[in-house]
Amino acid sequence: MCGIAGYIHADPSKPVDPETLMAMAAIQHHRGPNGMGLQTIADRGVGFSHARLSIIDLNEARGRQPFLSADKRLLMAHNGEFYDYKRLRADLTSRGARFRTKSDSELVLHLYRRYGLDEMLTHLRGEFAFALFDSARDRLILVRDRFGIKPLYWCQADGMLAFGSEIKGLFAHPEVPRRFSDAGLYHQLMQTMVPGTTAFEGIHQVQPGHVMVIERGHGRFHIRAFKYWDMDFPLIRERKDDQPEEYYIEGVRERLLKGVQLRLEADVPVACYLSGGIDSCSILGLAAASQQSPVKAFTIGFDDTNYDETAVAREMARSVGADQDIMMLNAGHLYANFVETIWHTERSIYNTLGVAKLLMSRRVNKAGYKVVVTGEGSDELFAGYPAFRRDMFLHGLDPLDEAERAVWEQMLSESNALVRGSMLAENELHDPALDALVGFTPSCLQPWLASSEHVPGLLNPERRKRLQGYEPGRTIAEALDGSMIEDRHPLDKAQYVWIKTMLEGQILTWGGDRVDMANSMESRPAFLDHHLAEFATQLPPSMRIKGRTEKYVLREAMRELLPKVLYEREKFAFMAPPAHTDPEKWKAVQNLSAKYLSDEAIHDAGLLDAQGVKALFDRLEDPDTAIPTKVQMDAVINHLLSVQILHHHFIHPDVPALARHRAAELKCMSAERTIVT
C-alpha cells in the first residue's frame, strides 16, 4: 500500500511544479516510508507523485513509482494490491508484454494497453486506487476498488484538478481551498456521510466501484464518471433459492479460502488481526491451515469486561497454534491519542475503536510486520449486524403476529443492550425519503438519523440558518442507486444501504485503511474479495439469518475450525467502551473538551454553537437521561471534538507550508525526478 497524489491543468501548456508534487506525497509519508518519486510530462500540464510502502518487489529503484510506459504514453501511480498478479503477468508476457519490474502495479499499464479501460477492470482483483494518464487520448483516469477499501479524493480549483490518497495530500496544493461545507459539517456531526462527499467544500471521493475520466478541451475539464461494479442482489422474481444448504456452505468455504490464500501472498511476513468474533477467527483458522509456520495474531483487549473479547481470542489462537500478541487498552490510552487519530481519519469518529486500531497498527509495525489479513466485510456479506436482524424480522419474514414480534423485539433489545443508541436506535424511526426509496428506513441508519435531531442546535447560528430545512435522509437517499434497491428482498436492501454508507464511510476509513496506514501497515480484508461477494448476493436470506442465528452460512462453513463457544455465540459488536460509562474515561473527554470545545475555541472555528454544546453535555451528565440516549450523546460528543480537531489540523494552519516543510525534513527534494519530453 502507498500514497498517491498528482494534478493536471486544464491548459496543458501550464507547467506542473515538482516541489508541490513532492509536498503532496511527503505529507502522506506515513503511507509510504520506503521511497518517494515523481514524474511530470513536459508540455502536457500533468504530474504524479508517490510515497511507497514496499510489499511486492522490494527493490527500491525498480519498484519506484510513478511508472511511465516505455513509449512514454502512459503514466500511472497506484495504491493497493492486485491479487492473482503472477498468473496475469505470465499471461500478458506470453502475449508479448514486457515487464520491467516484479511489481503487481505494473499490470495496469499492460492490461490497459491490451484490453482498454472497460475490459481491463474485469481482470483486477483486490483493493486498489490508481491514477492513469493517457497522453495519446489526453485524459486522466481515476479508479477505485469495488468496495472502497483504498481511498481516493479529488477536487477542482482555478483550472486545475488534483487527486490524492488522503485529503491532506490535496490540501498540500496551495490552490486547493480548505473550508468545511455546511452539509459536510452536518453529516460529520451525525456520523453518516453522503456517498462521494467529505467534510470539506469541493473535496470529493471517487465512489467505490467507479471510474472517473477527465478529458480536456478549450481550457476546461470534461468529467464523466461511471460504475463498473456493484453489489448486485438478484431481483425477487429472479431469485433461485432451491439449492441444498450444502451448495451455499461449500461455495462460501471455497471462495473464502481462496480469498485468504491470495492475501497471504507478499514479499514480507503477513500476520492476522484476531478479535473474539467469528470473522477474524475464521480468517486466522484458514491462514494457519494454509502455511507451514505459526501465524502471528494481534489482538486488542479492553479493561472493561463488557467490551473485552480476549478470552475467546485466546482460545482460538491456542486451537490453531498461533503466536498471539495481546494489547490491553484503557481510556487513558484512547483519548490521549484521539487528536492524532483525527489527523489520519480526516473525518469524525463516534467511538474510540478507531484510536485503538491506530495503536494496534503501531504495535504491528514495531513488531516488524507490514501486512495483516482482517475480517472486515463478513457482517456486510452475511448479515451479521443486529440492524439486519431487526430489518429481517420486521420486513423480510411473512407477517408476524404481535406476540411473536414482541419476542423478537425483546430478544434484540436484551442481546444488544450495549449498542442501543449507536448500532440500534432507541426508538423506531421513519425517514420519508428513505421509506420511499427502500420501502422502510434501514435500521442501520436509524440511530444516526435520530442523533441528527441534536445537530441544528449544535451548529453555529449562521450555518444553522443556511441549513434550515435540510433533510439528511433525503440527501443520502438521493445519492444511492435506486436500481440496485428496487424489487429486492428487504434484507438485500438493508445490506446494500449499509455497504454504500457505513462500510465505506466508517469501517473501511476510521476503522481500516486510515488508522492502519497511519503506521505504514497494510490491512487486507479477505471477505471483500469480489468473487466471494458476488456469490454472497445469491445466498437466500435464510442462509444469512436463520431463525435467530445471524451469519448462518459462514458459521456452518467454518464450523470445524471454530471453538464450540464461538460457533454458538451471538454476534458481538466490536467497539471500545463509551466514555460516559466510566469516570476516568469521562475525565479524559473533559480534558480534551477544555481545549477544543471551550467558548474561545468554538468562536475561533465558527463551526459550533457554544450554548448548544453546553446543553448537550448537561443532558448527558443528567442521571435521569436514559442509557441509550447517553450512548447516542456520547457519540455526538466525539463528533464535536472531531470537527474542532479537524479545524485545528486542516483549516487554521498553513497546510501547504507544513507539507513543504515535511518534504524538506524527509529530504524528499533529492528524490529521483524525471521530466519526460
**Residue 97 is part of a domain; what is its CATH number?**
3.60.20.10
DSSP output for 146-204: SS--S--EEEEETTEEEEESSHHHHHTSTTS---B-HHHHHHHHHS-PPTT--SBTT-E
Expressed as residue numbers, the domain containing 446 is 404-491
- Helix ranges (H only) for 499-582 are 514-517, 530-536, 541-544, 552-557, 564-567
Q: Which of 2, 155, 272, 668 is catalytic?
A: 2
Give the position of cell 525498480. Answer: 62
- CB distance 107 to 82 below 8 Å: yes
Say what the pLDDT of residue 235 is. 97
- Same domain? 195 vs 52: yes
Q: What CA–CA distance (Å, rounded) separates 309 from 577?
A: 12
Q: Is residue 303 part of a domain?
A: yes
- Same domain? 478 vs 507: no
Burial class of residue 13 (count of CB atoms within 10 Å of its CB; 0-12, 13-18, 19+): exposed
Say what the pLDDT of residue 632 is. 84
Q: Is residue 394 part of a domain?
A: no
- Same domain? 59 vs 187: yes
- Same domain? 269 vs 202: no
> What are the respective helix, strand and coil percentages of the chain, to the nearest 5?
50, 15, 35
* Set of cell numbers at residue 551: 451469519
- Same domain? 169 vs 294: no
- Residue from 152, 133, 274, 245 nearest 540 by CA: 245
Q: Is residue 624 part of a domain?
A: no
Say what the pLDDT of residue 674 is. 44
Say what the pLDDT of residue 143 is. 98
Residue 494: CB partners within 8 Å, gap ≥ 6? 383, 387, 388, 391, 392, 395, 438, 442, 443, 444
- Tell me the average confidence (pLDDT) per consecutive run of 10 residues in the chain, 677 residues long: 92 94 94 88 93 60 77 94 92 90 89 95 96 97 98 96 97 96 96 95 98 94 97 94 95 98 91 93 95 92 80 92 92 87 96 93 95 96 93 80 67 56 74 97 94 94 96 97 97 98 94 95 96 98 90 95 78 63 82 96 96 93 83 90 96 84 67 43
Please say which residue of 491, 510, 535 terminates a domain: 491
Buried residues in 644-673 as b, exposed as e (16+ CB within 10 A): bbbbbbbbeeebbebbbebbeebebeebeb
Give the position of cell 433489545. Answer: 413
- Same domain? 457 vs 312: no
Q: Is residue 613 part of a domain?
A: no
Say what the pLDDT of residue 378 is. 96
Rounded to an integer, what is the distance from CA 86 to the centroid of its chain? 27
- Same domain? 205 vs 137: yes
Strand partners, 47: 7, 40
Query: Sheet harboring 323-329: ordered strands across?
Result: 323-329, 296-302, 270-273, 371-374, 522-525
Residue 418: CB partners within 8 Å, gap ≥ 6? 306, 307, 573
Buried residues in 392-419 as b, exposed as e (16+ CB within 10 A): bbbbbbeeeeeeeeeebeeebeeebebb
Q: What CA–CA distance (Å, rounded) separates 217 from 226?
A: 20
- Same domain? 280 vs 367: yes
Q: What CA–CA distance (Å, rounded) separates 428 from 314?
A: 38
What's the domain count of the chain? 3
Active site residue 668: no
